[in-house]
Structure formats: structure tokens, C-alpha cells
Structure 1
Amino acid sequence: MQSNEALYSAPSWRLTRWLADAGPGAPDDIRAALIAQLHGSLPVFAAGAVNTIAVAAVIAARKQTAPFIVWLVMEIAICLARLLVLASAHRKAREHRPTPTDLHLLLAVAWSASVGFGAIASLASGDWVVAMLASLSAAAMVGGICFRNFGAPRLAGTMILLSLGPIIPGAALAGEPLFYIVYLQVPMYLAAMTAAAFRLNRMLIATMRAERENSHRAHHDALTGLLNRAGLVEALGTRLAARGEPSFAVMFFDLDNFKPINDTFGHAAGDEVLKAVAARVRRVLPDGTVVARMGGDEFVVLLDGVAPEMARETGHRLIAEVAASYELSGEVRAGVGASVGIAMSPDHGADVADLLAVADAALYEAKSGGKSRCCLASVETNLSALRRLQQSEPRGPMASAA
């Protein structure tokens, strides 16, 4: 199933990889999110482009000399190229196609270098009105560069250096001793803003880590590492919301004769069996299959793109895998069984509650027939599930799923 989230390609060139690096220890999913943030939005880009082009145009109209005309042409060409690349990246990201991330990053660096060129040319012109306007524009861009690109602090630092750094040689070319104060001001400003970008980057990554850890705890079972009830309902809802997806199976199973293990060997032994069951289930199922522990000894599997008979065959494999004995502490071995109930989407329901109710009813039918059985939902199962949904206290996952 394809996600609706836009996916931006990681940079592939050595230089752009270095520029976009988020720092040591950042997980891959956070790095991908930071790459997406670097692309920003078209309105944010437009605000900066309009400012720099307007400043270059006003100065070129005032001076009408080759350096300023070249600057204006550079600004227009770079900003137009950035606009086209950014629009292409957004479109391709939505379509999950490779995005021109390397070119996007290089154009950002070229834009900051163009801003710096305008600043040094203005200071060297001897026109203090032009020099003030260009320098103020360059300084104003630094704040936006820092706070828009601190997900990649090396990129932010490079852009700040290229846009503001040329003021120092520009002050020397101006020949005005009063401007020499920038020899002190600009390095301090560069250092402070670059350090701010690195600090903000560390804070952002720490926040994103915490958000992901909290989300993981909210959607996963602490004992087995499988999805919990909330995670399953979300995954099932996502599948049902996707259009044009092939049918899938909801397999509800629980363990037979599990209570005697807790009663005889203690809950610690029972926890070990549950963890072993989770590992076996993941081993027998295809990679990426959604597996959840609903609580106690109840589990649910979402099996994509299968016909009813294939789902039934998978159910029998689960039963055989779970039935193998478990080694507990002290060389003690214990055995449990499993019963499986299967509901098919869309045949047996069009929403979360219906599918779980039908699968639960099929599980009840399997256990009633002698346990360690796999039962595919039937018309009678559907009617039984409907009656149970209408009860005030439905069994198993119904209260939460509804």
C-alpha cells in the first residue's frame, strides 16, 4: 500500500550529502523528515526571492553598471531555476518519484552566493545608499537562512557565510575607515547564527526522537514489540481508507491452554511464552505483515493480497508454528495451541468494528469446534458477529474498535 505522504530523495552527491547531513546519531526516518523540511513551501521561497530580486532591481536601476546588471540577471535566473526545481520536487515527492534534491541544495548555495556578490559590489561602488540597502538585505536573509535550514546546519552555515561574509572584503574595497567595524561585527554574527543553527538542529532532532518514541509506545505492546490495540485499529483503518487496494485477511487468534502455564510456572514464564509466540508469528509471515497483540493471549494479523484459501493455509501454518513446545527456565518445556478466526475484506465488513467482530466470531466458532482449528467466517458467523455488536458489552476488541 502506497503512503500519501510526500517522500523526498536523500542527496546523492558527496558535497550535497555533506551539506545536508543532520549530524551523528540521527535515525534514517528523522533524516528523511529533515530533507523534506529543507524543501520548505512555495510561499516561503517566494517571499525571499521577491525581496532579493527587488533589491537587485532597484540598485541596478540606480547604478546601471555591468556588476549590478549581472547581479540582477543572476538573481532572476537562480530564483527562477529554484522555483522550477522546487515545484518539480514537490510534485515528484507526492508521486513517490526521485526528487532533484542535489540540484535544490546547490541552487540554494548559489542564491546565497549571489546575495553576497550583490553586497560586495554595492560596498565597492562607493554609493552609501546602495551599500546600505544591499547590506541590510544580506543581513535580513541570514535570519531566514538559519531558521529555514537548521535541519541541515552545515548548509545553513555555508549559506550564511556566502551571503554575509563578502561584506568584509567589500568594506575593504569601499575605502571608508568607518566600515572597518564590520571586521568585528560580521565574524561574530556569522559565528552566532551558525552556532544557533547547530543548537536548533540538536533541539529539533531531540524533539523528533521524543515524538517518535512516544508514538511508538502509544501504538506498540511493551512486552512483545508488536502493535497494540490502538496501533492495529489505526493500521486497519488506513487499509480500509485506501481505494483500489486488493482484498486482505483479518486473522484473529488466541492461545489454547495458556492459562495453566501462568498458574503452574508463574506470569514471568507466561510472558516468555508470549514473546516466543510473537517471534514465531513474525517468522512465519511475510516481512511487513501487520501483527498485533490485543491483550492477554489474543493476537491479530492483517494479511495483504490473499484469497480466502491462502488465508486459511496461513492460519494452519500459524497453528503449527505456535504448537511447537516452548523451553522455559530450568529446562522445563511447555506447550500451547492456537485457534484462528478469519474475516476477509471487503466480503465480511467495510469498517474496523465489523471486520474485527466477524474475525472474533470466527475465532469463537473455531474454539467451540475443538480448539487448534482455523475457521473462515461464513454467513452464520456474520450474523453471530452482528448480534454481538448489538450487545451492550461486546467481547474482545469491539469496545475499543467501535
Structure 2
Amino acid sequence: MDMKTAAFSLPRWRSTGWLCDPGANVPQDIRVKLIGSLFGTLPIFAGGVLNTIAVAVAIAWRDPSPAFLAWVVIEILLCGTRLCVLVAAHRAAAAGRPTFTDVYVLLAVLWGASVGYGTFISILSNDWVAATLSCLSAAAMVGGICFRNFGAPRLVAIMILLSLGPCCIAALLSDETVLRLTLVQIPFYLVAMSIAAFHLNKLLVTTMKAERENDHRARHDALTGLPNRAGLVHASAHLYQADQIGEGKTAVLYMDLDGFKPVNDRHGHEAGDQLLVTIGKRLDALKGPDDMVFRIGGDEFVVIVRAGDQAEIASFADRLVSEVPAPFMLEPEVSVEIGASIGVALIPEHGADVMAALTAADKALTLAKLSGKAQWTLAT
């Protein structure tokens, strides 16, 4: 499952929300990605599960007492349930449904507690082979916890505490005085690994914010703030596919300003930039909530419109031709007027996606300009 194409639900419960909280000032989309990282992949999950079950079974085979047999049963039930929830969560994420995040986080906490229970009874059994196996398994699991759950540092700290904390209690109850060293080692290890988890999480969030900002800059026009040609390509690849449109009509309107160059020549490039910003705001105000506006270069804009039928699209094109050229005040006493020529193409009638329809709209735009400008033409 590709986590880039599937969104996992944020926790709803107060307790699991606290455990998975990455800190303040983390945008919602990054929080969703961090939650997705907790679910990981099946191979990583299988490694930890097989390790803990194998150790529990091996020790129970060596000492089939009720305490160790109970550990085996607990491990199998917990790991089997976690596997079912993990598979169901991936399928739900792919389908856009809630992904059982609260249950999955709770099971992770219980799994840590089950490993801690195993180390506890193994140390108190005075079977040092069993104690060695269980403690090594717990230590290995802690490494996996830190690797898999870096998106939720509080969850990391709690799982480490539940996995290794019982060793300290068992050391106090054991007759082996040397085990009291764990009263120093494990708390120190817990603090160190928890601090590392918080630092790693902070570094990850910072990196994701930077990538998010770079991605936004790459897809948006610095002058108007509108999506640029790269944003248009992205929309073509991820939105407005012919097989995703459903009912209604989707149109690509390719608009070129008439008389923009004389404004630049007469009033300067700063005035031209101001005019382009105003055009962008005007288009953004005219579009519907499900429509998108792009500036793809110079004085060229693209509007993608969703409408009930072709008549609505024609009405919208008429509005652009009539309202976009309204007088612009560049300075208190300087007013300019420009026109707008538009080529219109429909999806899928003139192309299976945005870029294919844009090619048809470009040809229609040429016809609109050749026919006298300040008008729109539908692609043939």
C-alpha cells in the first residue's frame, strides 16, 4: 500500500489523540502523514510480531507453566488482532473510509504491555535462559518501536515504559542483587530514547514543512499566488480525469488578455504586475467553489469549471468576457481597460484530461483572437 495515495484517519479519542500528538503548529496534512507512518508496512510489522510470538512460544515450551502459557495466548491474540486491524486500515484508507486509528494505537500500547509482562515473569522464574531471551526480545522491540513510531513520540515513550519498565519491578522482587542495576539503566535508556524520539519527530516535521513549502512554491505563481503550469499538470494528473468526472460538464477555459502589452509599455512592468494580480483576484471571485484558476505564464490564465451542462459553461464564459475587462485603477487617476479572448474545451469531448483539453482550448483561443478578440470560442 502506498501511503502517498492513502490517507489514514486522525485519532478521535482523547487518550490516543494525546499519544499521537506531534506537537504544536503542525499542519493538518502533515499530521495525517505522520499518522500514516504509524501503520507502516506488513513486512516491518511481521518482523516484530514473529519475534515476540516466537520468544513466548520458545520460553513456554521450556517452562509450560500457566503464566508462560498465558503469555503465548496473549501474544497470539494481540498480534492476530493487530494484523487484522492493520490490513483493514490499509483497505479503508485506500477507499477513503475511517481507518480504526484509535483501536490500532490502543493495541500497540497493549502489545508493549504484553512484552513487559513476558520479561517480568521470565526474570522472576529464575530461569536465566528465559530471562535473557525475553529481555533481548524486548530490547529488539524497543528499536522497532522507535523506528516505526517516530510520528508519535509520546506513544514511543509509553511503549518503551511498558516494555522495559517491568524489568525494574522484577529486579526489585528478584533475589539477584546485580539486577538492581536495571533501576539505573532502564530509566536512563527510557529518557534517552524518548528525547531522541521527540528530536527525530521535530526534525521530521520541519523537513515535511519545508517539502510542503517547496512543493507549494513549485506549483504556484509567485506574483498572483495562483497555481502555475506545474500546478495545472498536477491537476491534470490527479483531478478532472474523464472517468472521474461523473455527471455534469467540465470545461477548460484558456484566457489571453487583449491589450496587456500596451499597458506594460505605457505604465511600466510594476503596473502590469499589479494588473495581473487584480485579474487573478477577479477570476478567483468569479469562479465557483469547485473551480480552479491558474496563471500559466505572461498574461495567460486557465480556468477549470465544473457545471451542470454546456449552457452553464457558456454563461460563465460570457461573464468572463464581460466582467474581466472592467476598468482597472492602477493609480488614483490612472484607469485602464483590457479585453479577454477565451478558448473553451470540454472534458471528455475535446480531451480525456486537462492537458488534452487545454490543447483544444488553445486552438479555440487562436480562433477567438482571429475573429476580433474580446470573445470566446468553443473548440471543434
Q: Say whether the fold is shared (TM-score over 0.5).
A: yes
Tell whether 2:40 aligns with 1:40. yes
Partner of 2:56: 56
Mapped to 2, the partners of 1:132 and 1:280 lie a distance apart of: 71
Cα displacement (A) at 1:93: 0.7
- Aligned to 2:93, the other structure's residue is in SS state helix
Contact 1:308–1:376 (8 Å) recurs in 2:
no
Q: Any idea what the Cα deviations from partners look like across 1:351-383, whole Å, max 9, x if unmatched?
A: 6654222211211222222222121112xxxxx
Q: Any idea what the Cα deviations from partners look like across 1:28-73, whole Å, max 9, x if unmatched?
A: 1111111111111112111111110111111112222222122111
How do 1:2-17 and structure 2 match up within 5 A?
5-17=5-17
Partner of 1:201: 201
Change (3 A) 1:241 1:330: closer
Mapped to 1, the partners of 2:217 and 2:41 lie a distance apart of: 31
- Aligned to 2:186, the other structure's residue is in SS state helix
Specify which of 255, 258, 265 is matched with residue 256 of structure 1: 258
Change (3 A) 1:196 1:341: same
Mapped to 2, the partners of 1:136 and 1:357 lie a distance apart of: 63
After TM superposition, the structure 1 stretch with the greater mean CA deviation from structure 2, 146-155 or 58-67, is 58-67
Contact 1:281–1:321 (8 Å) recurs in 2:
no
- Aligned to 1:291, the other structure's residue is in SS state strand
> Tell me, which stretches of 5 or more residues in structure 2 are unaligned?
none
User: Which residue identity is paired with 1:238?
Assistant: H
After TM superposition, the structure 1 stretch with the greater mean CA deviation from structure 2, 106-115 or 311-320, is 311-320
Cα displacement (A) at 1:77: 0.8
How do 1:320-339 and structure 2 match up within 5 A?
320-339=322-341
Q: Any idea what the Cα deviations from partners look like across 1:226-261, whole Å, max 9, x if unmatched?
A: 111122123124346563534521110011222222
Aligned sequence identity (%):
51
After TM superposition, the structure 1 stretch with the greater mean CA deviation from structure 2, 310-319 or 76-85, is 310-319
Contact 2:347–2:354 (8 Å) recurs in 1:
no
How do 1:290-329 and structure 2 match up within 5 A?
290-329=292-331
Mapped to 2, the partners of 1:266 and 1:17 lie a distance apart of: 54
After TM superposition, the structure 1 stretch with the greater mean CA deviation from structure 2, 164-173 or 315-324, is 315-324
User: Which residue identity is paired with 1:188?
Assistant: F
Mapped to 2, the partners of 1:12 and 1:357 lie a distance apart of: 46
Mapped to 2, the partners of 1:353 and 1:99 lie a distance apart of: 34
Mapped to 2, the partners of 1:242 and 1:131 lie a distance apart of: 62
User: Which residue identity is paired with 1:34?
Assistant: L
Partner of 2:192: 192
User: Which residue identity is paired with 2:189?
Assistant: Y
Partner of 1:386: none
Contact 1:6–1:96 (8 Å) recurs in 2:
yes
Mapped to 1, the partners of 2:238 and 2:41 lie a distance apart of: 27
Mapped to 1, the partners of 2:48 and 2:332 lie a distance apart of: 70
Mapped to 2, the partners of 1:240 and 1:34 lie a distance apart of: 28
Mapped to 1, the partners of 2:16 and 2:356 lie a distance apart of: 50
Cα displacement (A) at 1:325: 2.1
Contact 1:4–1:94 (8 Å) recurs in 2:
no
Mapped to 2, the partners of 1:4 and 1:29 lie a distance apart of: 12
Partner of 1:382: none
Mapped to 2, the partners of 1:281 and 1:243 lie a distance apart of: 27
Contact 2:241–2:353 (8 Å) recurs in 1:
no
Contact 2:242–2:352 (8 Å) recurs in 1:
no
How do 1:3-402 and structure 2 match up within 5 A?
5-239=5-239, 243-246=243-246, 247-350=249-352, 354-378=356-380
- Aligned to 1:287, the other structure's residue is in SS state coil
After TM superposition, the structure 1 stretch with the greater mean CA deviation from structure 2, 230-239 or 199-208, is 230-239
Count of residues paired in the alignment: 376
TM-score of the superposed pair, with normalisation by structure 1: 0.89
Q: Any idea what the Cα deviations from partners look like across 1:66-100, whole Å, max 9, x if unmatched?
A: 22122111111111110111111111111111111
Mapped to 2, the partners of 1:106 and 1:353 lie a distance apart of: 46
TM-score of the superposed pair, with normalisation by structure 2: 0.94
Q: Any idea what the Cα deviations from partners look like across 1:370-398, whole Å, max 9, x if unmatched?
A: 222121112xxxxxxxxxxxxxxxxxxxx
Cα displacement (A) at 1:347: 1.7
User: Which residue identity is paired with 1:286?
Assistant: G
Mapped to 1, the partners of 2:305 and 2:355 lie a distance apart of: 17
Mapped to 2, the partners of 1:329 and 1:155 lie a distance apart of: 58
Contact 2:240–2:250 (8 Å) recurs in 1:
no
Mapped to 2, the partners of 1:329 and 1:106 lie a distance apart of: 62
Cα displacement (A) at 1:350: 3.7
After TM superposition, the structure 1 stretch with the greater mean CA deviation from structure 2, 78-87 or 359-368, is 359-368
Cα displacement (A) at 1:304: 3.1
After TM superposition, the structure 1 stretch with the greater mean CA deviation from structure 2, 285-294 or 201-210, is 285-294
- Aligned to 1:43, the other structure's residue is in SS state helix
User: Which residue identity is paired with 1:135?
Assistant: C
Change (3 A) 1:163 1:376: same
- Aligned to 2:12, the other structure's residue is in SS state coil
User: Which residue identity is paired with 1:249?
Assistant: A
Cα displacement (A) at 1:138: 0.7
Mapped to 2, the partners of 1:154 and 1:32 lie a distance apart of: 16
Mapped to 1, the partners of 2:4 and 2:185 lie a distance apart of: 47
Cα displacement (A) at 1:127: 1.4
Mapped to 1, the partners of 2:4 and 2:194 lie a distance apart of: 35
